[in-house]
Amino acid sequence: MEMKPWQEVAQRAQAYRDKSIAEINPPIPAVPEELPQNVIHLPKQLLTPREVEITEMLPEELLPALADGKLTSVEVINAFVRRAGLAQQLVNCVTEVMVPQALERAKHCDEYLAKHGGPIGPLHGLPISVKEHIGMKGLTQNCGFVAWIDEVAKDDAFILKLLHNAGAVFYVRTTEPQLLMHLETASNLYGVTVNPYNRTLTSGGSSGGEGALLGLRGSCLGIGTDIGGSIRSPAANNGVWGFRPSSYRLPNSGAHAPGLGEEQIVPVIGPMSTSFAGLNVFMKTIIDQKPWLNEPSMVPLKWNTTESHLVERFGQKKLKVGIMWHDGVVKPHPPIMRALTEITAKLKNTPGIEIIDWAPHKHEESWDIISSLYFCASAKEDLDIMEAGGEPILPLSKFILLDQVGVPKEEDTASTIWKKTIRREAFKTEYAAHWNATGAADGHPVDVILCPVGPGAAPPLDHSRYWAYTSTWNLLDYPALVFPYSQVGQEKDKVEEGYVPMNDQDDWNYKLYSPERYADAPISLQLVGRRYEDEKVFEAMQFIRIATGV
């Protein structure tokens, strides 16, 4: 069958990726022709023991070993490059492996350490993976669009410059979906990125390549972006850590996307990692360099999450945690409810922690508001880009662009945008009052909310159609941290028999679940704080980790 022009472009993109993987030396081992449903353990079987040992070290283990020369940057990068190349064969999560650039940088790190007797900076020699649309000078920023295959960044994104200053080594770029607006990762350029724990399920999106790569330990620290759940969805689906900071805490400049310049729902850059400490060192490393001096839109807030600060914050009073069991619209599947129940039970028995039930406030309305603000230029902008590339619209692109009532059919006027913005601000004010009311009795409102990341574990492919467990916090601009808890168990997580759904969306989600269908999928939860109280979320998470062992 004759290929269509867009298919030829996709073939070119994939050939470029495959050529980059072919530069890995020695070549990555062949994977089985028939892959099992769960491929999470295959890298341990296919890589050398030394490569496995290095790639399964956490950032907080790698950094001191790199800083004092116990590990060389070259050895570490070679190991992660090989595991990333293998991850691509298993779940299709990579757009490019930058072997020559990474090795050159790693050699520089080793030479610097030998010459100066100390590291370049706090991230000396650490491998960091990067989502494709975050600009790297001279490399593509296609954002999942066929028409943008030859869009090339003129400079490195500012956040990459800051990480480079700190000693980081960039070595791999990862997949993202068409539009950058799916909670999955599928494009006509690269196909579908699947979940390493269960290849019939999604890796999440739009930072799904990052999530899958981290899940397979082809990375220990990566960069994602989030406008509706795009860091938290893949972090949860792949059993890793992810953080959506408040807007303007980290620099956005240099990332490419449709609708650049819109300020109705501000996208944020944030870290994804195999550990909690990885998130913290990422945030601290960037913010300690005072990026607001170069990017004036940023909020000039220092990063303070030291142990003494934790004691100061919570040593004299209880940590008050609100448990949001569900959002009043769609009840999460049994594995998520089990995780919440188990963690809540541990927290209730922990001195210094107070638990209350959190009543969700108009979360259905939150989706109506945010979906009306995502595409103020209307769906036409994205549809025109797809038409220019001659590519078909994918199911979840159609879902978010054409099936949502709030998405305008024509470009909004300034006055309609203002009216929508007034509605957004009114919702924020209402939610703040709702939060404040939790302190009416004792003068101590809730510190953080513990809640689901989604209406279930990683959904089957093409089924990530309910965003409100993450997007509500984008609308409010609240920081949110995702952490892994366990996995779906076929004996533990039976279907809730006799459940009466609250509405059609709830009914659809309820019928989606069976423990067999979701076998092995990671279970994660989300900790949410108030706007610009990002550090409090980290400190509360530290407190909760001590109490629960997560």
Q: Is the peptide bond before 233 cis (omega within 30 degrees of 0)?
A: no
Angle (CA) 311 239 191, round 5°: 140
Angle, helices 534-548/276-287, rounded to nearest 10 degrees: 160
Options 187, 203, 219, 230, the catalytic residue = 230
Task: Give Cα 395 to chain centroid, integer Å.
Answer: 21
Options 131, 284, 320, 536, the catalytic residue = 131
What whole-number distance in Å separates Cα of residue 479 and Cα of residue 532? 7
Cβ neighbours of 461 (radius 10 Å): 19
The bridge status of strand 268-273 relative to strand 221-226 is antiparallel
The bridge status of strand 169-174 relative to strand 94-97 is antiparallel
Location of structure tokens 């490019």: 96
Q: Is 230 a catalytic residue?
A: yes
What whole-number distance in Å separates Cα of residue 550 and Cα of residue 544? 8
What whole-number distance in Å separates Cα of residue 189 and Cα of residue 195? 19
282 three-class SS: helix
Q: Got the DSSP string for 146-201? A: GGGTT-B-SS--HHHHHHHHTT-EEEEEE---GGG--SS-EETTTEE-EETTEEEE
What whole-number distance in Å separates Cα of residue 488 and Cα of residue 199? 15
Q: Is 206 a catalytic residue?
A: yes
What are phi and psi for residue 130, nearest 5 degrees? Answer: -135, 130
What whole-number distance in Å separates Cα of residue 44 and Cα of residue 217? 10
What whole-number distance in Å separates Cα of residue 157 and Cα of residue 237? 27
Tokens of 407: 């998405």
Task: Give Cα 354 to chain centroid, integer Å.
Answer: 29
- Counted residue by residue, the chain has a size of 550
> Sign of the C-alpha dihedral, residues 400, 191, 129, 20?
negative
375 three-class SS: coil
What are phi and psi for residue 362, nearest 5 degrees? Answer: 55, 45
Angle, helices 276-287/158-165, rounded to nearest 10 degrees: 100
Residues 6 or more apart whose Cβ sits within 8 Å of residue 101: 170, 171
Strand partners, 186: 192
Options 129, 203, 206, 524, the catalytic residue = 206
HEC profile of 56-105:
CCCHHHHHHHHHCCCCCHHHHHHHHHHHHHHHHHHHCCEEEECHHHHHHH
Q: Which residues are catalytic?
A: 131, 206, 230
